[in-house]
Structure 1
Amino acid sequence: MILEGIKVLDLSRILAGPLCTQYLGDLGAEVIKVEHPDSGDDTRAWPPFIGEEGTVFLSANRNKRSIAVDLKSEEGKEIIRKLVKQSHVVVESFATGVTNRLGVDYETLKEINPQIIYCSISGYGRTGPNSLLPGYDNALQAYGGIMSLTGAKGGPPIRAGFSPIDQTTGIHAVTGILAALLHYNQTGEGQYLEVSLLETAVGFLGYQAQNYWATQKVPERMGTGYGTLCPYQVFESADGHILIAVGNDTIWRRFCPAVGLEDFMDDSRFKTNPDRVRNFNETVEIVQEVIKTRSTQEWLEVLKQAKVPCAPVNTIDQVVEDPQVKYREMILQYTHPKLGDLKGIAYPVSFQNVKREVKKHPPLIGEHTEEILQEIGYTSSQINDMTNEGIVYLNNESQKLS
C-alpha cells in the first residue's frame, strides 16, 4: 500500500478529522483512534443506527484501531506520550486551547518526537478573533458565504444536502499531511500544519470571489443555474428533471437542432454564450418550454446522441446502484463482526495495482485497547489496574467476537 509503515495517531472526532485519518488508513497507514472511555466519538450516538453504531461513525472510521483512554488522567497522558514516540503523524480537532490543557499540543509532543507531523483541524483557525468559536459544517456554510450562493433565485439561503465543509476539510488535511510526509522523507523534519472549516469554505469561493472583484456585484442565488454559462442547469422534463450543460458555443450548435430550436441557434440574442448570459431568463424560458415536452430518458438519449453533456438527477439509491459507479469500485463491501455485512463509499482516488478494500472494520469503542497497550510495553497487571480505575476501557465484547 502507498502509506504502508506510516503510523497515525488520531485524536480527532466527528467528521473532518476522522475522514482524513480514514483516507490515510485506506492508503495503508496504521491508524490508532483515541476515544474517551465513556462515550467514544460523538458520532457513535448520531442516528440513524445499524445495530448500536451511528451511520456517520461507520462512514468515516474504517481501517483504524480504537483505544479508549482518559486523556485527563496522568496515566492516560503517559499512554499518549508513548504512542507519540512511535508515530509519524498526529491529527487532532479539539476546541482551541484544549490541547494545551491536556498536554497534547504540538510544542509538547514535538519535545517527545521532534519529527512528528502534527495536523490541527479547527472551525475558524487557531488564531484570530474567532478562533475560540466552535466549528460546525452548517455554521461555516453560512459564515463562509456558501449558503448565500445556494438556493432558488429570490428564495432563502439553503444548506447543502450533505457536509461539504467537513468532508473537504478532511481531504485538505490529507493533502497537507502527504506534503508534510514528502518533506519529512526529503529532510527528516517534522511539521505543524493547520486546516480549518473556515478556510475550506472560503477556498470554495474561488471564481465567485474573482467575479465579485471584477464586477463589484455580489453573486446571488441562482438555483441550479450558473452565472457565466447558459443554458447550464436543471430543467423540468415531462416526468422529472434533467441537467443540461451547454458549456460552449460548439455544444450550443449541436444542442439547438437536437431539441428543435434551430431558429434560435444564430439568433443574435443567443448566438454566443455572452449573448445567452445577457439574455439569461429568456434563454432558460425557451429551453424549458421544449424540454418539458418529453421524458427525461427520451432527452438523455437525444442529447447523448448529439454529444450534449447531460445527466439525470439521481437519488442516492440510484447512485449506489449505478453501473458506472459499481464499475469504478466506489462501493466497498466488508463484514463487521457485530453488525454483519456492510457497505461504504471508497476513497475517491484509484491507484494502479492497488486494490480498494476495507482491511479493518470501523472499530468498536476500545476494541483494540489491550493489544495497543501491550504493544507499547504495558503488562496485563498494569492494564487491569488502569481498567479498574477507569483510565482505559477494554471492550470485552470485542474479545468475544475475535
Structure 2
Amino acid sequence: MPAPRLPLSRFRVLDLTAHRAGPTCARQLADWGADVIKIEPPASLDDEPGGGLIGKRHGSDFQNLHRNKRSLTLNLKQAEGRAIFFRLVETADVVLENYRSDVKTRLGVDYEACRKVNPRIVYGSIAGFGQDGPYATRPGVDQIAQGMGGLMSITGLPGQGPVRVGIPIADLTSGHFLAQGVLIALLDREHTGEGQWVHTSLLEAQIAMLDFQGSRWLMDGEVPGQAGNDHPTSTPTGVFPTTDGTVNIAAAGDRLYRRLCEALGRPDLITHPDFDDTGKRRRNRVALNQAIAAITATMSSAEVVALLTRAGVPSGPIYSIDQTFGDPQVQHLGIARQVEHAELGTLGVVGQPINLSAAPQPATLRMPTPELGEHSDVLLAELGYDAAAIAALRAQNVI
C-alpha cells in the first residue's frame, strides 16, 4: 500500500539552519512532506564534536528536532561547495538559514545570490534581533530574547525577580512563525510566479507572544508585573491546593464564577460585596483565592476536577511530564509518536499538534534524523556527479 501523499511533498527545501529556531521551521515543513535537505559542514569542520546547544546527534533533543530530513555535508566556504549549493538552488523552492544577519552575505548564499539563480526561491531567515537595525549583528539566543522581549519580567511569583520559562519559547515560536511565513510566500508565488525573502527574529517572535500583556502597555499604559500562578487579569484563575497536590481552576467571568461557587457549596461568595463583580474579584484576588483554597484543600485533586467538570468549570491536574504522556486523553490524541532508527532502534518523539483528515498523523514521521552526510552520495549523484567526482570532493573536504 503506497504511503499517503503529504501536502508539502511537491516542495524541496534547502536547510542551512542550526541550533533550534531554524530547525524548528524546517521540521514543520519536513513533517508535512517537503523534501528537506539538511546541509551541514563536513565532520572535519565540526567545531563542537561533543554536541552543541542541541546536544549530541544521537541524543533525544537532536533526534526529535531533525527527523524527516536528508543530510548533505557541504563546505560553503569553498567555491566548489557553493557551486553545489547553487545547483541545488536551481530546482529548490525554499532556502532556510538562521545565521547572524551578516554571515550569509559573507558566505555568498544570501537571498539576492539565490534569487539570481532561481527567481522563484522563497528564502526564509531567522536572526536574533532582525536583519537590520542597531542590534542586527549581535549574537542572540532564546534566553536573551526572553529577557529583552519582556517575558521574564512577567514570569514567576510576585517579587521573586525575573524567571525564564521552562521551554525555549522564542526559538520555538520564531521557527513556527517562519514556517507560516514560508507557506504564505509559497501561496503568493502561485499568483506572482516569483519568490521573496521572509524573515523574523527571536526578539520579534517573543514580543508577538506577549499578546494581551503587550497591549496592556501599548493601549492602556499599564506595565504588567509578575502574577505567579494566577492569571494576570482574570480571577479566579490559578493553582489551588488539594489533599494530594494542586489543581488548576479557571473560573473567570460571572457565569463560570457562579458555577464554581455553587459547586463548592459557597453560593454566598457570589453576592459577597468584595467579590460580586469582576473588578472587585481582581482587586481582592488574595482573599478570594484563600476562600476557594480552604475548600479544595479538603478534597483530592481527582475529586475537585470531577466536581468542577460536572459543573462545567474548567479545571485540571498539574502533571509532571511523565504524567502528561500517561494521561488517557493524551494517549488517545497520539501526539507521542515513534520512529525507527537503524542504530538507536525505536525512538519516541513529539508528534504534530495539527491534524489533517487527508494526511493521517503516522505519515508525518517517515524517517529518523539522518546521520551526518548520510545522503551526500545520493544527492550528488542526482546532480550528475559520478563516484570518482564524489570521492574527490570528499578528499578535498568539500563534502
How far has the Cα of 1:214 moved from its partner? Answer: 4.3
How far has the Cα of 1:217 moved from its partner? Answer: 2.8
Q: Which residue of 2 aligns with 1:112?
A: 117
Deviation by residue 1:318-345 (Cα, 9 ceiling, x = unmatched): 1122221222221111110111000111
Please give the alpha-carbon distance, in whole angstroms, between the structure 2 residues aligned to 1:47 and 1:208: 30
Change in Cα spacing, 1:63 to 1:42, as seen in structure 2 (3 Å) is farther
Q: Is the 8 A contact 1:67 1:372 kept in 2?
A: yes
Q: Quick one: which of 139, 142, 150 aligns to 1:145? A: 150
Q: Which residue of 2 aligns with 1:250?
A: 255
Q: Quick one: which of 287, 295, 319 aligns to 1:314? A: 319
Q: Does 1:45 align with 2:21?
A: no
Q: Percent of aligned pairs with the same residue? A: 36
Q: Which residue of 2 aligns with 1:381?
A: 388
Please give the alpha-carbon distance, in whole angstroms, between the structure 1 residues aligned to 2:214 and 2:53: 37
| 1:9-20 to 2 correspondences below 5 Å | 9-20=14-25
Greater alpha carbon shift after TM alignment, 232-241 vs 8-17: 232-241
SS state at 1:77 partner? helix
Q: Which amino acid aligns with 1:45?
A: G
Q: Structure 2 length as normaliser, TM-score?
A: 0.94
Q: Quick one: which of 210, 213, 216 aligns to 1:205? A: 210
Unmatched runs of 5 consecutive residues or more in structure 1: 393-402
Q: Which residue of 1 aligns with 2:336?
A: 331
Q: Which residue of 2 aligns with 1:96?
A: 101
Please give the alpha-carbon distance, in whole angstroms, between the structure 2 residues aligned to 1:112 and 1:348: 36
Change in Cα spacing, 1:49 to 1:138, as seen in structure 2 (3 Å) is closer
How far has the Cα of 1:74 moved from its partner? Answer: 1.0
| 1:161-200 to 2 correspondences below 5 Å | 161-200=166-205
How far has the Cα of 1:43 moved from its partner? Answer: 10
Q: Which amino acid aligns with 2:201?
A: S
Q: Which amino acid aligns with 2:51?
A: A
Q: Quick one: which of 369, 372, 386 aligns to 1:365? A: 372
SS state at 1:45 partner? coil
Change in Cα spacing, 1:41 to 1:234, as seen in structure 2 (3 Å) is farther
Q: Quick one: which of 343, 348, 370 aligns to 2:353? A: 348
Q: Which residue of 2 aligns with 1:86?
A: 91
Q: Which residue of 1 aligns with 2:37?
A: 32
Please give the alpha-carbon distance, in whole angstroms, between the structure 1 residues aligned to 2:48 and 2:250: 41
Q: Structure 1 length as normaliser, TM-score?
A: 0.94
Please give the alpha-carbon distance, in whole angstroms, between the structure 2 residues aligned to 1:270 and 1:242: 22
* Stretches of 4+ aligned residues off by more than 4 angstroms: 39-44, 46-50
SS state at 1:53 partner? coil
Change in Cα spacing, 1:8 to 1:345, as seen in structure 2 (3 Å) is same
How far has the Cα of 1:212 moved from its partner? Answer: 2.2
SS state at 2:114 partner? helix
| 1:203-282 to 2 correspondences below 5 Å | 203-282=208-287
Superposition CA RMSD, Å: 1.7
Deviation by residue 1:132-156 (Cα, 9 ceiling, x = unmatched): 1111111100010000000001112
Please give the alpha-carbon distance, in whole angstroms, between the structure 1 residues aligned to 2:204 and 2:261: 41
Change in Cα spacing, 1:372 to 1:53, as seen in structure 2 (3 Å) is same
Q: Does 1:71 align with 2:57?
A: no
SS state at 1:121 partner? strand
Unmatched runs of 5 consecutive residues or more in structure 2: 1-5
Greater alpha carbon shift after TM alignment, 162-171 vs 281-290: 281-290
Q: Is the 8 A contact 1:150 1:157 kept in 2?
A: yes
Please give the alpha-carbon distance, in whole angstroms, between the structure 2 residues aligned to 1:92 and 1:48: 17
Q: Is the 8 A contact 1:18 1:60 kept in 2?
A: yes
Q: Does 1:56 align with 2:61?
A: yes
Please give the alpha-carbon distance, in whole angstroms, between the structure 2 residues aligned to 1:189 and 1:248: 49
Q: Which amino acid aligns with 1:109?
A: C
Please give the alpha-carbon distance, in whole angstroms, between the structure 1 residues aligned to 2:110 and 2:291: 60
Deviation by residue 1:280-300 (Cα, 9 ceiling, x = unmatched): 221122112222222111111
Q: Which residue of 1 aligns with 2:8?
A: 3
How far has the Cα of 1:40 moved from its partner? Answer: 5.9
Please give the alpha-carbon distance, in whole angstroms, between the structure 2 residues aligned to 1:232 and 1:340: 44
Greater alpha carbon shift after TM alignment, 293-302 vs 137-146: 293-302
Please give the alpha-carbon distance, in whole angstroms, between the structure 1 residues aligned to 2:354 and 2:385: 38
Change in Cα spacing, 1:16 to 1:44, as seen in structure 2 (3 Å) is farther
Please give the alpha-carbon distance, in whole angstroms, between the structure 2 residues aligned to 1:117 and 1:229: 42
Q: Is the 8 A contact 2:19 2:53 kept in 1?
A: no
Change in Cα spacing, 1:30 to 1:110, as seen in structure 2 (3 Å) is same
Q: Which amino acid aligns with 1:196?
A: S
Q: Is the 8 A contact 1:10 1:90 kept in 2?
A: yes
Q: Is the 8 A contact 2:207 2:214 kept in 1?
A: no
Q: Which residue of 1 aligns with 2:163?
A: 158
Q: Is the 8 A contact 1:35 1:41 kept in 2?
A: no
How far has the Cα of 1:46 moved from its partner? Answer: 4.8
Please give the alpha-carbon distance, in whole angstroms, between the structure 2 residues aligned to 1:209 and 1:364: 42
Q: Which amino acid aligns with 2:199?
A: E
Please give the alpha-carbon distance, in whole angstroms, between the structure 2 residues aligned to 1:278 and 1:198: 33
